[in-house]
Amino acid sequence: MLIRSSSANPILPSEITSCELFAARRDWLKSALAVGGVAALPGLAACSAEAQGVKLAGVKANPLYAIADEKLNKAEEFKSYCNFYEFGTDKADPPVMAKSLKTRPWTIAVEGEVLKPQVLDIDALYKLAPLEERVYRFRCVEAWSMVIPWVGFSLSELIKKVEPKGNAKYIEFVTLADKAQMPGLRSSVLDWPYVEGLRMDEAMHPLTMLTLGAFGEMLAPQNGAPVRMVIPWKYGFKSGKSIVKIRVVEKEPKTAWVKAGPGEYGFYSNVNPTVDHPRWSQGSERRIGEFSKRKTLMFNGYADQVASMYAGMDLRKFI
């Protein structure tokens, strides 16, 4: 039985940079930039990174990823209905418990079978590639879904930067595991830290997104701040949150849910309405904010873009 802790560790007001102080700092930055004193930071926002609703600057919508026949979910729905077991197993836990997560300072180590391993400060990611807004369907293995305008860029931009070696076949993502900030780690529901992974061709696919925001804002802590993955043709648990390490490896990673339930959660975890979860059907889904269910689309509606990667594979065996 899972016992949820009710003790949160919210950020104290004294730990959050005030908007006034941040605005003064921005004025200083502008002056310094005028004389070449500091480098520009794309995406610099109006208040501290710990605050909710911090806007991202310089983001352009990419029309290639628009979904004309479906409306967006509301930002409030996205922020209040969350899976993030590091902050509790109930959907209502992360919005409350994730207030303890500090997203600055934050670094991401990129290592393994690469020629140029790196440790990147989170703000360096904002300069790695132009930020795009992409509207993706997001489908959870629990048979609910949303339509979300994510902000970020293709993961391939980062992978190319570190130059994978010839034996590199998979990408592994590791989530922060800090008991001081993440009360859910006291539970044994998963083998921490949370690990997910992709085959190299999946990771390099243009749809695979290194994500820094949603709804025009920096990610909220409960949604995986400050950086997460989004792979829209796979079930949501493949999209690791609050990433601290990306490893390029030769062998298939042992991912968190495969270890927890290999008979229920396969490594590939592509959205496939013809393969039911052992405890429920995957043939339909409930869009958050809608009353009636809708049919689930093969590969979550992205079959034209991704199905060729799985040609010849038994998609019932390789779930």
pLDDT attached to residue 14 = 30
Instruction: Report how many domains make up the chain.
Output: 2
> In angstroms, rounded to a whole number, what is the distance separating the alpha carbons of residues 166 and 156?
16
pLDDT attached to residue 10 = 33
Q: Tell me, what CATH number does 302's domain have?
A: 3.90.420.10
pTM of the model: 0.84
Do the Cβ atoms of 319 and 268 come closer than 8 Å?
A: yes
Q: How confident is the model at residue 263 (pLDDT cuts 50, 70, 90)?
A: confident
Do 195 and 246 fall into the same domain? yes
pLDDT attached to residue 25 = 37
Strand partners of residue 148:
136
Structure tokens at 63: 């029309």
Do 32 and 180 fall into the same domain? no
Do 220 and 279 fall into the same domain? yes
pLDDT attached to residue 44 = 37
Do 116 and 25 fall into the same domain? no
Instruction: Pick the range with the lowest mean pLDDT from 67-71, 192-196, 206-210.
Output: 67-71
Do 218 and 189 fall into the same domain? yes
Do 159 and 262 fall into the same domain? yes
Average of per-residue pLDDT across 188-192: 96
Q: How confident is the model at residue 38 (pLDDT cuts 50, 70, 90)?
A: very low
> In angstroms, rounded to a whole number, what is the distance separating the alpha carbons of residues 186 and 188?
7
- Residue 201 or 1, more confident: 201
Do 39 and 182 fall into the same domain? no
- Residue 36 or 98, more confident: 98
Nearest to 45 by CA among 74, 17, 80: 17
Q: How confident is the model at residue 231 (pLDDT cuts 50, 70, 90)?
A: very high
pLDDT attached to residue 271 = 98
Do 28 and 143 fall into the same domain? no
Do 33 and 180 fall into the same domain? no
Average of per-residue pLDDT across 178-200: 97
Do 103 and 22 fall into the same domain? no
Do the Cβ atoms of 138 and 148 come closer than 8 Å?
A: yes
Residue 27 has pLDDT above 50, yes or no: no
Mean pLDDT (the chain, rounded): 87
pLDDT attached to residue 8 = 37
pLDDT attached to residue 244 = 98
Domain with 29 in it = 18-47
Block residue for tokens 């305008």: 149
Which range, 27-31, 56-60, 233-237, has the best average confidence (pLDDT)?
Answer: 233-237
pLDDT attached to residue 197 = 98
Classify strands 144-154 and 284-287 as parallel, antiparallel or unpaired. Answer: parallel
Asked whether residue 319 is assigned to any structural domain, the reply reads: no
pLDDT attached to residue 93 = 97
Edge-first strand listing for the sheet containing 170-175: 118-121, 107-112, 243-249, 170-175, 195-199
Do 291 and 189 fall into the same domain? yes
Chain segment 40-59, per-residue pLDDT in tens: 333 333 333 454 678 999 99
pLDDT attached to residue 53 = 79
Do 124 and 198 fall into the same domain? yes
Asked whether residue 219 is assigned to any structural domain, the reply reads: yes
Asked whether residue 8 is assigned to any structural domain, the reply reads: no
Residue 317 has pLDDT above 70, yes or no: yes
Chain segment 140-164, per-residue pLDDT in tens: 999 999 999 999 999 999 999 999 9
Residue 126 has pLDDT above 50, yes or no: yes
Alpha-helical regions (H) of 193-275: 200-204, 256-260
Chain segment 274-308, per-residue pLDDT in tens: 999 999 999 999 999 999 999 999 999 999 999 99
Block residue for tokens 């060729």: 308
Reduce the DSSP state of residue 93 to 3 states and report it. Answer: helix
pLDDT attached to residue 52 = 61
